[in-house]
């Protein structure tokens, strides 16, 4: 009805553009109606304009990656049942007072802290008290115990650290010349391993800190819709624990959330927007969601959102995990959505419930004809979870289905998929 007031080339963000357009529209409306003849005048009747009706200009977000929000952990509930081979958590943070907005498809960045037991073992091995002052990432001095706890990666061995340790290490000088052997050596090794293997390598605290990599935040696909949980954000976190070189290894952030983050000490978080993983603008569009393990996270958010908006488009979920009895993540909720007709179809693949592996792509193949029919009806396809194996195999399966059910050549099937990607009907959130 209203022509846009700002030229497309004006240097504004979409939010600023929207606000300014609303402002000008209000102004024009009041001007025209006060004159009564539909002609704009040069005197703008600003006096008397009801301030309430003009929205406040959008502020740049107060919190971001550089300035994370101190969020209170509200919940860290185990989703996997007793006897499961996995530990997957439903994590809820409060966003009260944050003014942070997110959309389904976004991720949350979490700044973790290292395991104090690992830090204590490192300090002991190095012969430090822990109180030695070292420069932190912003240049201010802090005790090395704090620096190691909060600011540096202890599970990553950067090349400068390896080079500094090499003269004190039996294997490193040779490994540094052979990238393949080095990759094998690095798998499952951390700073503590390196120091134990090179007992004469004992840098002073400041030198050591200079050789470490800053502790990076970890991203987690958001598993809630802000329409349903306006003041909270939910995550689905797989806890990383494994044995390597005779020691139990713990993923920094996933075990921080599962074991060390407490309800009374805030955790630094920020919203990581992901414009490449979005529900279709048309609520009637069918969607096909394919996720294994924690890959279900954004689909829980999608389903919450589609239910909240009353979107009528059909929703089909393929979900894979190890065992139905213990690893059927969000089973009750999914069954509720099925009963209420929000979830049109649910196909599960529990890989370890039978002798032969059964994965999401096997279920897709079984349903190839229907899946292709959905594609032909305009469905959007979403894939989330493991990038290395699952997402690759799912893509190959999509191509097979397009060939088999659509009667396309291999080349034409690739072109079909490329078109889906280009038209944002095939989106992936893989890691
Ligand atoms: C966009 C995006 C979305 C994501 N969404 C989710 C999500 O919804 N849920 C989720 O759980 N994760 C998600 N992740 C992964 C998450 O960001 C972290 O990478 C994950 O939690 C591990 O972090 P960590 O700090 O616990 O482990 P880290 O301390 O970073 O350790 C992980 C590293 O340990 C090593 N490792 C792990 N297992 C083994 C093993 N068996 N043997 C040898 N080495 C091993 C690997 O080098 C691995 O990179 C997502 C990642 C991205 C990029
Ligand atoms: N970078 C990191 O630090 C990090 C940390 C955590 C998780 N991740 C990755 O995040 C992803 C999700 O992890 P997750 O533990 O939630 O789930 P996952 O390891 O992907 O397992 C979920 C299900 O997928 C199955 N699966 C295995 N290979 C598959 C394939 N090629 N195609 C389809 N399904 C396959 C598994 O079966 P089986 O196990 O029975 O074979 C299991 O049933 C994984 O890639 C994991 O490695 C990465």
Task: Locate the ligand 1 atom nearest the alpha carbon of residue 237 and give its number.
Answer: 11
Residues 342 and 312 sit within 8 Å (Cβ to Cβ): no
DSSP symbols for 181-192: HHHHHHTT--HH
pLDDT (tens place) for every residue of the chain, 431 residues total: 334 445 445 555 555 555 565 555 555 444 444 333 333 333 333 444 455 556 666 665 689 999 999 999 999 999 999 999 999 999 999 999 999 899 999 999 999 999 999 999 999 999 999 999 999 888 899 999 999 999 999 999 999 999 999 999 999 999 999 999 999 999 999 999 999 999 999 999 999 999 999 999 999 999 999 999 999 999 999 999 999 999 999 999 999 999 999 988 999 999 999 999 999 999 999 999 999 999 999 999 999 999 999 999 999 999 999 999 999 999 999 999 999 999 999 999 999 999 999 999 999 999 999 999 999 999 999 999 999 999 999 999 999 999 999 999 999 999 999 999 999 999 999 99
Quote the ligand 2 centre to 36 CA distance (angstroms): 66
Percent of the chain clearing pLDDT 70 (strictly above): 86
Whether 359 lines ligand 2, by a CB cut-off of 6 Å, is: yes
Own/partner contacts of 391-400, CB < 8 Å, gap of 24 or more, are: 391/428, 391/430, 393/359, 393/361, 394/290, 394/360, 394/361, 394/364, 396/361, 397/361, 397/364, 397/365, 398/364, 398/426, 400/365, 400/368
Quote the ligand 1 centre to 342 CA distance (angstroms): 31
Please name the residue whose Cα sits nearest to atom 10 of ligand 1: 237
Task: Locate the ligand 1 atom nearest the alpha carbon of residue 253 and give its number.
Answer: 25
Global pTM?
A: 0.88
Q: Which domains does the chain have, with CATH numbers?
A: 1-60 (no CATH), 69-112+217-272 (2.40.30.10), 116-211 (1.20.990.10), 287-430 (3.40.50.80)
pLDDT at position 417, please?
Answer: 98
- Exposure of 123 in the CB half-sphere (CA atoms within 13 A): 18
Looking up tokens 């239910």 gives 307
The span from the CA of 105 to the CA of 91, in Å, is: 17
In this predicted model, what pLDDT tens digit does every residue of 66-84 receive, in sequence order?
A: 999 999 999 999 999 999 9
Cα separation values, 239 from 157, 224, 293, 385, 390, Å: 22, 19, 12, 14, 19
Residue 330: CB partners within 8 Å, gap ≥ 6? 79, 296, 300
């Amino acid at each position: 009805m209203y022509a846009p007031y700002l030229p497309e080339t004006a240097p504004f963000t979409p939010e600023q553009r929207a606000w300014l357009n609303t402002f000008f529209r209000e102004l024009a409306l009041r001007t025209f109606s006060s004159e009564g003849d539909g002609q704009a005048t040069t005197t703008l009747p600003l006096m008397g304009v009801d301030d309430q009706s003009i929205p406040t200009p959008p502020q740049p977000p107060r919190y971001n990656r550089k300035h994370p929000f101190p969020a209170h952990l509200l919940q860290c509930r185990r989703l996997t049942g007793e006897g499961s081979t996995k530990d997957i958590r439903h994590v809820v943070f409060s966003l009260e007072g944050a003014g942070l907005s997110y959309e389904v498809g976004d991720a949350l960045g979490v700044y973790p802290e290292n395991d104090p037991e690992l830090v204590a073992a490192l300090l002991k091995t190095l012969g430090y008290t822990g109180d030695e002052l070292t420069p932190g990432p912003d240049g201010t001095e802090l005790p090395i115990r704090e620096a190691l706890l909060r600011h540096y990666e202890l599970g990553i061995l950067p090349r400068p650290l390896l080079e500094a340790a090499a003269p004190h290490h039996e294997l490193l000088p040779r490994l540094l010349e052979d990238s393949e052997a080095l990759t094998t050596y690095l798998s499952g090794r951390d700073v503590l391993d390196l120091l134990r293997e090179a007992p004469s390598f004992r840098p002073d605290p400041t030198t050591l800190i200079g050789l470490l990599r800053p502790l990076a935040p970890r991203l987690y696909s958001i598993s809630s819709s802000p329409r349903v949980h306006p003041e909270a954000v939910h995550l689905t976190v797989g806890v990383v624990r494994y044995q390597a070189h005779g020691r139990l290894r713990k993923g920094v952030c996933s075990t921080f959330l599962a074991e060390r983050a407490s309800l009374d000490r805030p955790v630094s978080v920020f919203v990581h927007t992901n414009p490449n993983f979005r529900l279709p603008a048309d609520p009637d569009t069918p969607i096909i969601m394919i996720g294994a393990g924690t890959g279900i996270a954004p689909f829980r958010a999608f389903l919450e959102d589609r239910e909240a908006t009353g979107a009528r488009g059909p929703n089909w979920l393929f979900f894979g995990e190890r065992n139905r009895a213990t690893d059927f993540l969000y089973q009750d909720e999914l069954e509720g959505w099925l009963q209420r007709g929000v979830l049109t179809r649910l196909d599960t693949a529990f890989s370890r419930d039978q002798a032969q592996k059964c994965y999401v792509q096997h279920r897709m193949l079984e349903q190839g004809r229907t899946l292709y029919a959905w594609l032909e009806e305009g469905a959007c396809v979403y894939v989330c979870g493991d990038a290395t194996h699952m997402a690759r195999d799912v893509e190959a399966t999509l191509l097979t289905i397009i060939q088999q059910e659509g009667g396309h050549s291999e080349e034409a099937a690739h072109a079909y998929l490329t078109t889906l990607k280009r038209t944002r009907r095939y989106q992936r959130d893989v890691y």
